[in-house]
Amino acid sequence: MEKRGYWVGFNLVRGIGAVRMQQLIDYFGDVERAWFGSFQAYRQAGLSEKLSERIIEIRNQFNLDKYIDTLARQNIKILIKDDPDYPRYLREIQQPPPVIYVRGNFVVEDDWAVAIVGTRRVTHYGQQIAEQFAKTLAEHHITVVSGLARGVDGIAHQAAINAGGRSIAVLGSGVDKIYPPEHKLLAQKMMDHGAIISDYPPGTPPESSNFPPRNRIISGLSRAVIVIEAGIKSGALITADFAVDQGREVYAVPGNINSIQSKGTNQLIQNGARPLTDIRDLLTDLQVELIHEHQEFRKQSPSGKTESVLYSVLNDQPIHVDEIIQKAALSVSEVTAQLTVMELKGMVRHVGGMKYIKISEAGEDYQT
């Protein structure tokens, strides 16, 4: 069984998240040894009796290879945090989800993403702002991230898709359990123009306790978070808190001081969030011209011997820059400078730890 199978196995154990997974890896050394641990070893690693028993129960009940094959037939992809396709900015947060399930696709452009969140009980004012902001972001090739909930979330997703952009929804259920049910058609459109993702295994129902934790993924995928309208106890404020912890910029739309739906956003502004009255301010902060340069680079044909050599050295598995230098027989300065240009072109991606991968879609038209 591939390594991802063991990660999926642990993901099926309710109560095993990023923190406890790290405990297990620290104790056992790797995920395979952790998966085949004994009850006593799990207890020594710091797990409770109940959790230790649950791991062994799942291990004995599930044929993980068959389970993964079943998901593949349902067009559900599995990404573990070491995968090259795992979202770049999500990987950088503290305790990223070890496993995410995906219907749809991530593309390089999704590195430029902004979250739009807010109340389910959206006012006409909030609806107008959510539509306007999402449309403008989409027109500037910025992916819109939200939670597919009623109200602001659904409006933002729909507006981005309608504008020809991309959108990503993070669910508080399995990716096969679309909630609310009236958003099933919207979710289907997003699978064609973005992705539906979750760190909960397929089959997980949309329980209320699932939603607050998933908000860390919404902010983790994004370069900034915009709160359109939110009551004082809105879940959107949880997303804003996660964003601050993750070092993301938080923007809030000022609202009527007498409106219940604006009390949360106005409080965010009082607490230091940036008031957003014109989406162009955010575009300026994001240096949107860099996004357009990125798009133009991707349209250019690959050229130059150095680029050709580096592209032939790279593949879809992460390679350290030292190994690239050695295999390419080029200087450090030549390699680092060219990799920067190739990343702008969307030909390669830096996946952390001084490691790079080849972007397969860039290779389709590449001629050496």
pLDDT tens track for 240-277: 999 999 999 999 999 999 999 999 999 999 999 999 99
172: DSSP letter: S
Is the predicted pLDDT of residue 311 greater than 90, yes or no?
no
- Residue 362's pLDDT band (boundaries 50, 70, 90)? very low
Is the predicted pLDDT of residue 368 greater than 80, yes or no?
no
Is the predicted pLDDT of residue 226 greater than 70, yes or no?
yes
At 310, list the tokens: 């580096």
The whole-number average pLDDT for the span 348-359 is 82
Distance between CA 336 and CA 37 in Å, rounded? 42
Cβ atoms < 10 Å from Cβ of 30 = 11
* 179-193, 196-210, 286-300: least confidently modelled range: 286-300
Q: Are 130 and 162 in contact (CB under 8 A)?
A: no
| C-alpha closest to that of 129 among 259, 244, 222 | 259
- Residue 296's pLDDT band (boundaries 50, 70, 90)? low
The pLDDT, as a whole number, for residue 361 is 46
- Residue 363's pLDDT band (boundaries 50, 70, 90)? very low
| Residue 105, amino acid | N
At 115, list the tokens: 């979250």
Q: What is the pLDDT of residues 85-104, one digit of tens each?
A: 899 899 989 999 999 999 99
Q: Whole-angstrom distance between the N-terminal and C-terminal Cα of the chain?
A: 36
- Residue 325's pLDDT band (boundaries 50, 70, 90)? very high
- Residue 227's pLDDT band (boundaries 50, 70, 90)? very high
Q: Which residue has the higher pLDDT, 345 or 33?
A: 33
The whole-number average pLDDT for the span 326-353 is 84
The pLDDT, as a whole number, for residue 107 is 87
Is the predicted pLDDT of residue 339 greater than 80, yes or no?
yes
The DSSP H or E segment spanning 227 is strand 224-227
Q: What is the pLDDT of residues 111-122, one digit of tens each?
A: 889 999 999 999
The DSSP H or E segment spanning 355 is strand 355-358
Is the predicted pLDDT of residue 333 greater than 60, yes or no?
yes
The pLDDT, as a whole number, for residue 1 is 64
Complete domains list, the chain, with CATH? 1-73 (1.10.150.20), 104-286 (3.40.50.450), 300-363 (1.10.10.10)
Count the residues in the chain: 368
The pLDDT, as a whole number, for residue 225 is 98
The pLDDT, as a whole number, for residue 300 is 52
Helix axes 64-73, 3-11, angle to 10 degrees: 90
The pLDDT, as a whole number, for residue 312 is 83
Q: Are 184 and 178 in contact (CB under 8 A)?
A: yes
Show Cβ contacts of residue 59 under 8 Å, excluding neighbours closer than 6 positions: 9, 35, 36
Is the predicted pLDDT of residue 313 greater than 50, yes or no?
yes
Residue carrying the six token digits 């009623």: 150
Whole-prediction pTM value? 0.81
Q: Are 147 and 175 in contact (CB under 8 A)?
A: no
The pLDDT, as a whole number, for residue 160 is 98
- Residue 293's pLDDT band (boundaries 50, 70, 90)? low
The pLDDT, as a whole number, for residue 365 is 37
29: DSSP letter: S
- Residue 366's pLDDT band (boundaries 50, 70, 90)? very low
Is the predicted pLDDT of residue 175 greater than 80, yes or no?
yes
Averaged confidence pLDDT in the chain: 90
Distance between CA 221 and CA 70 in Å, rounded? 27
The whole-number average pLDDT for the span 343-367 is 68
